[in-house]
Structure 1
Amino acid sequence: MGYKCTRCKKIVEINYRALGIRCDYCGHRILVKERPTSIKRIKAE
């Protein structure tokens, strides 16, 4: 699961046990979850 840093805009993988939630490049702690670019369509019944 990829997260994007709000400061440097790079995609980071999170290892929760090793260092917590931090950007590997700039050390910023605010990350947002990457959304898939494809659209999921579900047929309504």
Structure 2
Amino acid sequence: MTATYKCARCKHRVEIDVNVRCPFCGHRILFKERGGGIKELKAR
């Protein structure tokens, strides 16, 4: 299972498993995308 990341420079969505580098621009800073689940908590 590969995680989806977003490149900090070119904003492409990237799925990486071995190299931590954007295949489009070669940048090494990637942001991990959040999951789709939303949690609702009741306020006290």
Q: Give the TM bin, normalised by the shorter chain.
A: 0.7 to 0.9
SS at match of 1:8: coil
Q: Distance in 2 between matches of 1:2 and 1:38?
A: 15
Q: How many residues align?
A: 40
The unaligned stretches of length 5 or more in structure 2 are: none
1:30 corresponds in structure 2 to 29
1:5 corresponds in structure 2 to 7
The unaligned stretches of length 5 or more in structure 1 are: none
Q: Find runs of 4+ consecutive structure 1 residues off by over 4 angstroms.
A: none
Identify the structure with the greater helix proportion: 1
Q: Distance in 1 between matches of 2:12 and 2:39?
A: 25
TM-score with structure 2 setting the length: 0.72
TM-score with structure 1 setting the length: 0.71
Q: Displacement, 1:15?
A: 2.2
Identify the structure with the greater strand proportion: 2
